[in-house]
Structure 1
Amino acid sequence: MTSFNRQSACVLAAVAALLTACGGGSADSSPDTKGLSARAADAQTPASSPADTPTPTPTLSANQAAFEEFLLSPGSGSYLLHWTLSYTGLQSSLVTAYSDFTTLPLSPLTNGPQTSAQSEPFNISKTLRNPTLLPTRVLKGGKILVVPSNGLMNRTSYVGNDVQIDALAEDKTTVAYSAIRSNYETVSLTGTMATTPADFARFHDPLFGNSKVLDATAPYAAGAKYIKFTKTNLGDRYNAGDCQAATTTANVSPCRIGTTLLATMTSGQRSNSDGVTYYLADGTVRTVDGVQIWVANAPRPKSATLSYTEEFRIYFELGGNVYTGSLIKDGTVLGGSYYVSNPSATTLVDRLTFLPYDIRLNKAAHDSIVSAMKI
């Protein structure tokens, strides 16, 4: 039996081609009337390839377009309000109300990641003191990074349809932590402060819920808008904090000096803010960038965090001492604020509803709030 494979077929085809060329071919064959030079020119003309196809022009997603509206010219900045206000009655001399804003030099869509600085704090009140800003400290890469609150540097890039924000440490280069912003909504503010949409008013509850703070009859300026979005933590974030004396540098105050993490957690470590004494069995130990970290199994109580954001108490060993902090896990939704939803409840947490979204204002909305301030 003779086998017939692809190689045999090629040989037969070659033989047939030779016979046709020598024998003159059939009546159905069209003779090759091109000369050698024409055939050479044909051989040198490349066939079209995917590389010849025009590159599609990049376009902004709806989320990215909403993000850029406030930040890029002709926008005048994306504003965030901060406060430490009482929810009822007159304010003490210790509270604050201020804002800061950010602009973006160019679009990350066509210019790559963009770095921008947060503005200096602006006191939005007429009578309150200026704020004292404290930095954020993060355990990363085997050391503690300091992220300044005043003059924070962010790096913005686009990932899929969403926006990635990297917070830079005080060296203005190292990424301390990152978040993804998505689910953008742009909402116009019209009428007076009294007609403010509920999600905006709830986010800024001490301003809108206390009649001593804002003039409810004050109008919004033409073009006033805000954006509402979801902020999600990107990567595990290990915050570092003071266990005893308050500090503002990378030298956070330790819980235990000259001991090990294992010894500390075996004997138990008290967290006054959590109202819990944590023991080794209440969590697990992991090693991250060469640092041993104990992570609690259960989230920190809401009474300690006062945020929608879920955090887990941590203790870690560094340089022969044991320090504390909290873990925000990858993919955690980062809460932005809360409002008093049940003022008659017996506990603080039961009085509050924690919000899973964040908000930024354009300049017209920001200036409208400032003009409406009574204090």
Structure 2
Amino acid sequence: MVSVKRKNAAALAALSVIVAACGGGGSDDGSGKAGASTATVEAPVIATQPVSASVLTDGTTLFTVVATGTGLGYQWKKNGVAIAGATTASYQTPAVTFADNGAQYTVVVTNSAGTVTSAVAQLTLQLSANQQAFENLILPPNAGSYYLHWNLNYSGGQTSGVNYAYSDYGLLPASPLTNGPQSNAQSAPRNFTNTLALPTSSSATRVLKNGGVLVVGSSSKVTYVSSDVRVDSLAVDNTTVAYSEVRSNYETVPLTGLVTAAPADFAHFHNSFFSNANILNATATYAAGSSYLKFAQTNKGDRYNVFDCTTATTGAAVTPCRVNTTLTAAMTAGIVSNSDGTTYVLANGTVRTVDGVSVWVATNPRPQSATLSSTVQYRIYFELGGNVYTGALTKDGTLLGGGYYVSNPAGATAVDRLTFLPFDIRMNKAAHDSLLAAMKI
């Protein structure tokens, strides 16, 4: 007799064969769930690596990566540190500074299947042509940037104690490109003559800044801005910025042959040296390697120069035009400017507040006969400590003049006799020494 249990097992086996033969059931995708299907996700692959870049100071650059894969995420890093918000296939840097030179950028690309890190793209700061010309003059092993200060007669003889000529030079310790702001202190003056004494004193440059009068020293701070050179002139504390200039359009010009046959720009800039036959030896020649650097200067920010109204001084205690009064009262009554040939009154300008100081600024520029420069200036009067003082405003962006030369000796007025120069000049040591050796006085 067959048991019921064996009988049921045989029936089940037969049923299983019948079901299989009928094609029943479904696929198994490995998940243990019949009928499920999922596409394979591949780890990201970088097809195009980010490229290293060379950038001017204050410039920006765009780093880009191309990667394959689905559901990709990005994270850019600078020197191994994640950059907040830099989570797309491209990253544009902010304006770069000297501290960014040599920075290394990478990007990590991820998805659910894996992660890949790009090759390093390096950022390198580059010199502009202007900055390279500047460094060729003022950085070691070069011997410095030389400048002549002089008061010499256009013709005839010179008088010691009245006429003079001296030089000084600046030398930067390192490039601002990768080392940041550099201090430049002018050298001690060197007498450029054998017969004339150095001036015993010179009128100091003073500016209205931070609510008071600052005396400008001989030191400056040099930085690079875009393709140009910025020079911040410092107060006598060697810390406070008194005023700033941006120098551009650098041009290096060689000097060869006879000293007296110098290019017109160089001769005009040093006018009396070349116009007066009593100053330079006509047979002297320039030493090998002599050259000068010509450039333009633009005022950066409004600059409020301060002048003495009466007695000449050299410190911060300038002489006032009016005492124990207000700016409004003084300007309502009017103040005579002998140098400008004008009586300025309140209606000739507007009053503004500069660092807490009330300043009246003329509407029209000062006459060129007063400034003897191509720099456009505006007469100012300001109230400080119960007194009223004077000066001149040079506005932001003004092209600064670089002196003048006598182009028409027979002119009826100073302006008729002179041509004003819109550029400045510095010499290298070879040119300086050549001119010095040619001096006859």
**TM-score over 0.5 for the alignment?**
yes
- Measured in 2, the distance between the counterparts of 1:20 and 1:177 equals 79
Write 1 or 2 for the structure with the bigger share of helix. Answer: 1
Aligned residue for 2:359? 293
Show structure 2 runs of 5+ residues with no match.
1-28, 43-109
1:206 aligns with 2:275: no
Aligned pairs for 1:111-150 (under 5 A) are 111-131=179-199, 132-148=201-217
Aligned residue for 2:237? 171
1:179: how far off? 0.1
Aligned residue for 1:23? 35
Secondary structure of the residue aligned to 2:298 is: strand
Aligned residue for 1:241? 307
1:69 aligns with 2:136: yes
1:302: how far off? 1.1
Aligned residue for 2:425? 359
Aligned residue for 1:9? none
Partner AA of 1:146 in structure 2: V
Match of 2:288 among 216, 222, 244: 222
Partner AA of 1:80 in structure 2: Y
Q: What percent of counterpart residues are identical?
A: 59
Q: Quick check: which has more Rg, 1 or 2?
A: 2
1:231-258 deviation digits (Å, cap 9, x = unpaired): 0000000001111111111111111110
- Measured in 2, the distance between the counterparts of 1:238 and 1:55 equals 43
1:117-170 deviation digits (Å, cap 9, x = unpaired): 11111111111111223321100111110113xxx1110000000000000001
1:337: how far off? 1.3
Higher relative contact order (CA 8 A, sep 6+): 1
Q: 1:19 to 1:238 in 2, by over 3 A?
A: same
Q: 1:22 to 1:160 in 2, by over 3 A?
A: farther
Aligned residue for 1:91? 158
Between 130-139 and 312-321, report the one with greater CA deviation.
Answer: 130-139
Match of 1:314 among 362, 367, 380: 380
1:43: how far off? 6.3
Partner AA of 1:142 in structure 2: G
- Measured in 1, the distance between the counterparts of 2:211 and 2:168 equals 31
Match of 1:108 among 176, 190, 201: 176
1:348: how far off? 1.2
Partner AA of 2:35 in structure 1: G
1:42: how far off? 8.8
Secondary structure of the residue aligned to 1:55 is: strand
Q: 1:45 to 1:277 in 2, by over 3 A?
A: same
Partner AA of 2:144 in structure 1: G
Write 1 or 2 for the structure with the bigger share of strand. Answer: 2
1:46: how far off? 3.6
Q: 1:45 to 1:190 in 2, by over 3 A?
A: farther
Q: 1:31 to 1:316 in 2, by over 3 A?
A: closer
1:59: how far off? 1.2
1:44: how far off? 9.2
Secondary structure of the residue aligned to 1:200 is: helix
- Measured in 2, the distance between the counterparts of 1:90 and 1:215 equals 15
Partner AA of 1:92 in structure 2: T
1:215: how far off? 1.4
Secondary structure of the residue aligned to 1:211 is: coil
- Measured in 2, the distance between the counterparts of 1:21 and 1:302 equals 94
Between 173-182 and 271-280, report the one with greater CA deviation.
Answer: 271-280
Partner AA of 2:172 in structure 1: L
1:374 aligns with 2:424: no
Secondary structure of the residue aligned to 1:366 is: helix
* 2:202–2:314 contact (8 Å) kept in structure 1: no
Secondary structure of the residue aligned to 2:381 is: strand
Q: 1:335 to 1:18 in 2, by over 3 A?
A: farther
Aligned residue for 2:126? 59
How many residue pairs were aligned? 344
Q: 1:20 to 1:226 in 2, by over 3 A?
A: farther
Secondary structure of the residue aligned to 2:273 is: helix
- Measured in 2, the distance between the counterparts of 1:243 and 1:306 equals 18
Alpha-carbon RMSD: 2.2
- Measured in 2, the distance between the counterparts of 1:356 and 1:20 equals 86
Aligned pairs for 1:249-288 (under 5 A) are 249-288=315-354
1:195: how far off? 2.1
1:350 aligns with 2:402: no
Task: Kindly report structure 1 stretches of 4+ aligned residues shifted beyond 3 Å.
Answer: 17-22, 29-32, 41-49
Aligned residue for 1:7? none
Match of 1:155 among 178, 197, 221: 221
Aligned residue for 1:341? 407
- Measured in 2, the distance between the counterparts of 1:21 and 1:82 equals 94
1:216: how far off? 2.4
1:183-226 deviation digits (Å, cap 9, x = unpaired): 00001000012321111101111111111111122100000010
